[in-house]
A and B are shown apart, each in its own frame.
Chain A
Amino acid sequence: EIVLTQSPATLSLSPGERATLSCRASQSISIYLAWYQQKPGQAPRLLIYDASNRATGIPARFSGSGSGTDFSLTISSLEPEDFAVYYCQQRAGWPLTFGGGTKVEIK
């Protein structure tokens, strides 16, 4: 099983600041990584697929990078609606797995 480790667990930032979230895979997954945003009481929303491709309708302030085992999600300037939990997910091998999540909270 491919284990995804997200860090930090919690990120405390102010609106307007830059957020950088990390996701590390236990083995190489090429570029087969996605990022999701989830707000309380809501289903997750796809932000990035295949490491760096923004999903439809996702603002340009969200960007993804990485390949192999190390990936990152960057939010260039936090908007109030960006405070949420973020998950990474790999599709390189079965079982599909998610990271444990990073909570981005208001400082």
Chain B
Amino acid sequence: EVHLVESGGGLVEPGGSLRLSCAASGFTFSTSSLNWVRQAPGKGLEWVSSISGGSTYLNYADSVRGRFTISRDDAKNSLYLEMNSLTAEDTAVYYCARVGRGGNEYGSGSYDCWGQGTLVIVSS
């Protein structure tokens, strides 16, 4: 069974940093494209970042480019999101999501598996 489990969320002060992790199981991780998607409290879904298999292609939303870094460790079947210079606008549940059928080699596509999400709160 395909499974994604996020961790690393929590309360952080404005300007602070946090590293999110996503542990994957049940599929061939190394060849899969993965994305981070976030959802602010009571709001809709916002794509954050994507990484292709082999880390060949990385993409970021304008709102996080230069502050967030996506990476993966295929040996550990894990996806990461390093977040720096956090602001209140980054407060959200962060989901990792796997690109399934209907995807391309650049890392975009539709998401056929999602983790349960990890909550990041940026507040003083």
A residues near B (Cβ < 8 Å) are 32, 34, 36, 38, 43-46, 49-50, 53, 55-56, 87, 89, 91, 94-101
Contact = CB atoms under 8 A, between A and B. Distances in A.
B45 A91 contact: no
B112 interface: yes
B11 interface: no
A32 B104 CA distance: 11
B111 A46 contact: yes
B112 to A, nearest CB: 5
B7 to A, nearest CB: 15
A43 B59 contact: no
B60 to A, nearest CB: 8
Contacts, number: 68
A32 to B, nearest CB: 8
Given A95-B47, A96-B108, A50 B102 contact: yes
Q: Chain B CB within 10 Å — which of A32, A50, A94, A100 has the most?
A: A94
A15 B29 CA distance: 40
Which of the four size classes fits the interface of chain B? 20 to 34
Nearest to A35: B110
Closest 9 CB pairs of A and B: A49-B102, A34-B110, A43-B114, A49-B110, A96-B47, A98-B45, A91-B108, A50-B102, A46-B112
B59 A50 contact: no
A46 B102 CA distance: 11
B100 A49 contact: yes
A68 B52 CA distance: 26
A53 B111 CA distance: 13
